[in-house]
A and B are shown apart, each in its own frame.
Chain A
């Protein structure tokens, strides 16, 4: 463009004048102002539930495309479901960023193969991959299948290949994996519950009868005192924590956080109490001692609903100097638990003394057991101040009245100890003393981890379990009759409900679901087809087997054992000895690339690793139909909003293809133990692709013949879906894969898909939203909210009440509806004494009462209560792991691992939005320790244990207290776990390089919360890996 001189002047003058006019605000035109277009108009909205934690928040997935054939739908926005009773539209930073997980550029989209010794992936077709995996599995099974043990008993087990199933998978995927694994005879079948809430199941079941969160998320709003201890609810379950804040704001509740760190929960608490990691039993037994000695006990509840008045055998004893209960064998490190039982009368009923005078009634034994735990002892062992301790005692004591309730919220801070089960039990006992179980606003609320960890625990994906808390038969149980006799408890009182008395009905219905018509009375319903166990094949055991060369194959379906199991270096050594590893996952896990060199984060030589590795791309939650069970046992059906990307396939399809290919190979080539494989029920319309709907109906169960009532009238026709577990029979006329889920999909439809958010009582029950096991009861043991005569303790918090003919109220009775209180039947129907267990008999391996033991790596080198017995005496520990333990002289600081709210385990390192808000690995130390070590904020430090080390940035903070324990200054180093070396965050170290390879005495859940470390400054630079 050219101007002449005159034109140029004209333009300049005009421009200047215009600009001046505009600048001075004399502009004659109006510039367009418009808000951004609302981006969701006409997009498809699909209901789903968050895939991360067990709050189970409702999500709305928005996708492009209206279903037209030519449109490929793609999710482009996710936000909370405002109707959802728990989340009410909220999502935490993980949920709010889930779009970047679903659409992560890191997703695995094609099947991949890594040849032995190779340093790279190569592509492989699905058919090739399935065929190769099936052949490897069959070869290993054929070689190592044990049809009979050394005694010549049929055991039909295969122990050399393990299978981990993700706790983020739906129930349907879990159920199919269960069927296939057990039909193949696999024993090492595990889910994340093992490394997470295993102790919750053992402790709560031992105390109350069921191993689950007693109340529910919404109910927390009814609490008057909220104790968050052994967990950090605000950090790990922010949306569930909404209801703790609701209690605080609208119910005047007091919120107390007790933790080694001043964390996010503490930031909004009324009181923060520092405590040494791993000393919780002392603190809690101290509370029991306080409550008893101050008479701050709900005596009516105590007599009616707990076993305080029952009389214990004469030969039971606890030796305070030795720190041991009666029956201990030092050589086997096992207790003989025979003496941990009641005195029985001639009918087999437990003796009781309701006056609580008998010296051996549970009450007096408990008093004696806890008298040592004075406030001063508590202070000496825990480092918590006496003042704080007394404050907590008094706050709890205020809830002994019928109109007040306290709730405990906990998570892995209690489970991940060598005595995790016993910590939880201590709190469970406190709640019994105060009458806070079975009531609104009370409970021991186990805040579970993964979105479906409750569900997959229910499905029974643990090495020695069957679905719904049935137990897999063991070596010694030679016949069905013997097994059922041993597993079916007898009632300890004349009218106890003793619900486990129905064990045979549940077991036979399960077998009918597994093997259909092939399971008959003649073949004991296929009893021989189940693998029989000689020991637990938990993941720690399997990890040792890998190291020892006793394992050849490992299927990791949505599980990242390199990061999740203790002592990462030992795990990597084990993985390197495998013949094959199969990763089925939407994301690239560290485990799948354990053979890749990632610098200091994973310093290996691929050429030295001969393991064949397959990486199969799976769908994520947003791309499937199915159910997940949240922490409060709520089965919520979710719907797919898109199809899996590229070549990714649905989990059930991958499992089905592998299994059907193996089955085919057995037909072609033969091999051992074929019967269960061929007999496994497989009534799916597309055999390669069992649908979620079919699988869900499978585990709900059907009538296999017309079911009749006592008068001979047909109640359920043959082929109809069952409407509840009361209909189950032991004669083979019903099937139900998972008996506690029976009633979730009835002839009235899919109960799990119900979405009625109303709450007529206003107490957060929401009975029409989805479906909770058992039988849609929302607060477990709710019979205990009423007194011996069936009258509600508090009319304002009415759950159920006896109206003369039946139990009625706001919740569904967790009790036989027409069983009168006159029968004196106890409220805890799963326990054969009907009572809450202050003394938990022989249900646990390490004691009927809790006792303080030190962590296996203790910073004080002694146990102030009984120096002869420092650690829990019944913990299983392998010799090679024992020598890998460190001592306080070399590693003087307490290391403790945890999650942070911005990330979900090792998943969200792949989600950009989460990588942005917490991009790099850090650890936390006190200002005191930082000063001693010359460490400044932001320095790179090295934290090491006797097993390995990590490097991370230092967060130096006032939030980490220095405590005085047994006269010694204790420093804690906080170690978040959420970084790896495959994500979009900066490369980091797997912190399980630090942790010891041992676990809880009852559940083998690893001791991640207390171990010994040292720390040194590396540099002040930014880059760490």
Chain B
């Protein structure tokens, strides 16, 4: 496929001294714009996402609200969040499509200890490379938007890929294509901001004085942005963070702490080297080695007598030696 290692600009748990190849950095940044003001909450995006990605969440139950599945899940990468609110005396049913924001400064990637398990492409997409995921959950803690979910089946983290497989071949994400009212748009980040500006003018003309774009700079901006009627109160939209930021602990652990721990490691290693130079290697007596070999031989015999049922298993075991 047309996206490969040279298109990666950030990798989790990778030192700046040995970065990913990133010569192909001159790429258009892409973005998804979710115009909450034209969203009818039909969930076509949820279905298209699951259909394209071959995901089927469990058939659950209804708890008295429209939200289903009730939350993001390893097999539900986007869900609609419904909020009934009153703003300035006007009742509004605010419906927000929730999912990965594809931050420019991704908290998940920053906090991930598994090398290359989370990557960011030059076009802005943050993607999980699940075969490298160790299921530690740091990405969940690191995400300012509470997006990744760890699967109980395979202990790996999952989230929206921005349909990187479609974008790689020049298509828009599945949710964008299917959106009936055009509430989800896709294009270059620049074009999306331009389109958002048009929408905001229209909304202001219709009396939404606080209409605006949600593209939080605390995470370096995002590649999924919202047009909101009340951009001054993002939290109205089912708790969209007013001030999203990467947790201070993650920042400390992956920021200030990292060189300190590296220095500690270097110091320990240097200590070993100096010890070797000053004291020399540990001497082992020949007898000790022989005794150990004999003991091992006996143990091996006993082990095979007990466990081996066929010759082939012994051969197998021997081959392992």
A binding-site residues for B, Cβ under 8 Å: 1-2, 4-6, 20, 22-28, 30-39, 77-80, 82, 89-93, 95-97, 99-100, 234-235, 238-239, 241-242, 245-246, 248-249, 262, 264-268, 270, 901-902, 912-922, 936-939, 953-959, 984-986, 1022
Tell me whether B132 and A31 are in contact (CB under 8 A): yes
Q: Complex Cα distance A623/B100, Å?
A: 37
> B115 is contacted by which of A25, A79, A96 (Cβ under 8 Å)?
A25
> B44 is contacted by which of A92, A235, A953 (Cβ under 8 Å)?
A92
Q: Complex Cα distance A915/B69, Å?
A: 10
Q: Complex Cα distance A337/B39, Å?
A: 49
Would you give the 0/1 interface string for B25-60, flagging 1 where the beta carbon is closer than 8 Å to chain A? Answer: 000000000000111111110111011100011111
Q: Which B residues are in CB contact (< 8 Å) with A242?
A: 180-182
Q: Does B281 contact A (CB under 8 A)?
A: no
Chain A binder among B101-109, B161-169, B218-226, B230-238? B161-169
Q: Does B160 contact A (CB under 8 A)?
A: no
Q: Complex Cα distance A956/B177, Å?
A: 33
Q: Does B61 contact A (CB under 8 A)?
A: yes
**4 nearest interchain CB pairs?**
A25-B15, A938-B64, A31-B116, A937-B64
Tell me whether B178 and A80 are in contact (CB under 8 A): yes
Tell me whether A36 and B164 are in contact (CB under 8 A): yes
Q: Complex Cα distance A264/B80, Å?
A: 13
Tell me whether B64 and A916 are in contact (CB under 8 A): no
- Look across to chain A and name the residue whose beta carbon is closest to the beta carbon of B168: A35
Q: Does B300 contact A (CB under 8 A)?
A: yes
Q: Does B310 contact A (CB under 8 A)?
A: no
Contact status of A249 and B202, CB under 8 A, knowing A27-B18, A957-B84: yes
Tell me whether B179 and A90 are in contact (CB under 8 A): yes
Sample of 10 A–B contacts (CB below 8 Å)? A24-B258, A30-B20, A35-B3, A79-B48, A234-B40, A235-B40, A249-B38, A916-B76, A917-B69, A958-B86
Q: Which A residues are in CB contact (< 8 Å) with B8?
A: 33
Contact status of A30 and B61, CB under 8 A, knowing A39-B165, A90-B177, A913-B50: no
Q: Does B252 contact A (CB under 8 A)?
A: no
Would you give the 0/1 interface string for B83-123, flagging 1 where the beta carbon is closer than 8 Å to chain A? Answer: 01010000111010000000000000000010110010000
Q: Which B residues are in CB contact (< 8 Å) with A245?
A: 38, 181-182
Would you give the 0/1 interface string for B299-321, flagging 1 where the beta carbon is closer than 8 Å to chain A? Answer: 11001000000000000010011
B203 to chain A, nearest CB (A): 10
Contact status of A22 and B57, CB under 8 A, knowing A31-B115, A38-B1, A249-B38: no
B54 to chain A, nearest CB (A): 8
Centre residue among B86, B182, B320 by max chain A CB count within 10 A: B182
Q: Complex Cα distance A456/B39, Å?
A: 33
Tell me whether A264 and B64 are in contact (CB under 8 A): no
Q: Does B274 contact A (CB under 8 A)?
A: no
Q: How many of B's residues come within 8 Å of A, CB to CB?
A: 84
Q: Complex Cα distance A937/B320, Å?
A: 62
> A917 is contacted by which of B68, B174, B300 (Cβ under 8 Å)?
B68
Q: Does B129 contact A (CB under 8 A)?
A: yes
Known: A913-B51, A916-B60. 6 other contacts (CB 8 A): A25-B16, A26-B18, A32-B5, A34-B1, A90-B177, A267-B92
A670 to chain B, nearest CB (A): 55
Q: Complex Cα distance A38/B1, Å?
A: 8
Contact status of A36 and B161, CB under 8 A, knowing A916-B57, A957-B84: yes
Chain B contacts with A in 116-147, Cβ cutoff 8 A? 116, 119, 127, 129, 132
Tell me whether B44 and A1022 are in contact (CB under 8 A): no
Would you give the 0/1 interface string for B259-301, flagging 1 where the beta carbon is closer than 8 Å to chain A? Answer: 0011001000000000000000000000000001100100110
Contact status of A1 and B320, CB under 8 A, knowing A90-B179, A267-B40, A916-B50: yes
Q: Does B206 contact A (CB under 8 A)?
A: yes
Q: Complex Cα distance A242/B178, Å?
A: 11
Centre residue among A4, A913, A954 by max chain B CB count within 10 A: A913
Centre residue among A1, A33, A249, A262 by max chain B CB count within 10 A: A33
> B84 is contacted by which of A2, A78, A958 (Cβ under 8 Å)?
A958
Tell me whether B261 and A30 are in contact (CB under 8 A): no
Q: Does B13 contact A (CB under 8 A)?
A: yes
B128 to chain A, nearest CB (A): 11
Q: Complex Cα distance A343/B140, Å?
A: 80
- Look across to chain B and name the residue whose beta carbon is closest to the beta carbon of A57: B180
B316 to chain A, nearest CB (A): 10
Q: Which A residues are in CB contact (< 8 Å) with B206?
A: 270
> B13 is contacted by which of A23, A38, A234, A956 (Cβ under 8 Å)?
A23
> A91 is contacted by which of B44, B63, B65 (Cβ under 8 Å)?
B44
A80 to chain B, nearest CB (A): 6
- Look across to chain B and name the residue whose beta carbon is closest to the beta carbon of A270: B206
Tell me whether A939 and B40 are in contact (CB under 8 A): no
A888 to chain B, nearest CB (A): 27
Q: Which B residues are in CB contact (< 8 Å) with A959?
A: 84, 91, 93
Tell me whether B51 and A97 are in contact (CB under 8 A): yes
Centre residue among A35, A270, A912, A1022 by max chain B CB count within 10 A: A35
Centre residue among B46, B64, B119, B320 by max chain A CB count within 10 A: B64
Tell me whether B164 and A35 are in contact (CB under 8 A): yes
Contact status of A912 and B59, CB under 8 A, knowing A25-B15, A249-B38: yes
Tell me whether B61 and A1022 are in contact (CB under 8 A): yes
B280 to chain A, nearest CB (A): 18
Q: Which B residues are in CB contact (< 8 Å) with A23?
A: 13, 113
Tell me whether A956 and B64 are in contact (CB under 8 A): yes
Would you give the 0/1 interface string for B159-202, flagging 1 where the beta carbon is closer than 8 Å to chain A? Answer: 00100111011000010011111100000000000000001001
Contact status of A268 and B40, CB under 8 A, knowing A2-B321, A27-B18, A238-B180: yes
Q: Complex Cα distance A432/B17, Å?
A: 76
Q: Does B215 contact A (CB under 8 A)?
A: no
Q: Complex Cα distance A958/B165, Å?
A: 41
Tell me whether B182 and A937 are in contact (CB under 8 A): no
Would you give the 0/1 interface string for B70-81, flagging 1 where the beta carbon is closer than 8 Å to chain A? Answer: 000000100000
Q: Which B residues are in CB contact (< 8 Å) with A262?
A: 91, 93
Q: Complex Cα distance A266/B1, Å?
A: 44
Contact status of A954 and B132, CB under 8 A, knowing A23-B113, A25-B14, A35-B127: no
Contact status of A986 and B42, CB under 8 A, knowing A38-B1, A91-B48, A913-B47: no
Contact status of A234 and B42, CB under 8 A, knowing A35-B168, A99-B51, A916-B57: yes
B65 to chain A, nearest CB (A): 7
Q: Which B residues are in CB contact (< 8 Å) with A39?
A: 165
Q: Which A residues are in CB contact (< 8 Å) with B165?
A: 35-39
Q: Complex Cα distance A722/B66, Å?
A: 52
Tell me whether A96 and B178 are in contact (CB under 8 A): yes
Tell me whether A31 and B129 are in contact (CB under 8 A): yes
Contact status of A38 and B168, CB under 8 A, knowing A262-B91, A959-B93: yes
Contact status of A913 and B68, CB under 8 A, knowing A33-B129, A234-B181: no
Tell me whether B18 and A28 are in contact (CB under 8 A): yes
Q: Which B residues are in CB contact (< 8 Å) with A91?
A: 44, 48, 178, 180
Contact status of A89 and B292, CB under 8 A, knowing A266-B93, A913-B47: no
Q: Which A residues are in CB contact (< 8 Å) with B11?
A: 31, 33
> B181 is contacted by which of A79, A97, A238 (Cβ under 8 Å)?
A238
Q: Which A residues are in CB contact (< 8 Å) with B58?
A: 916
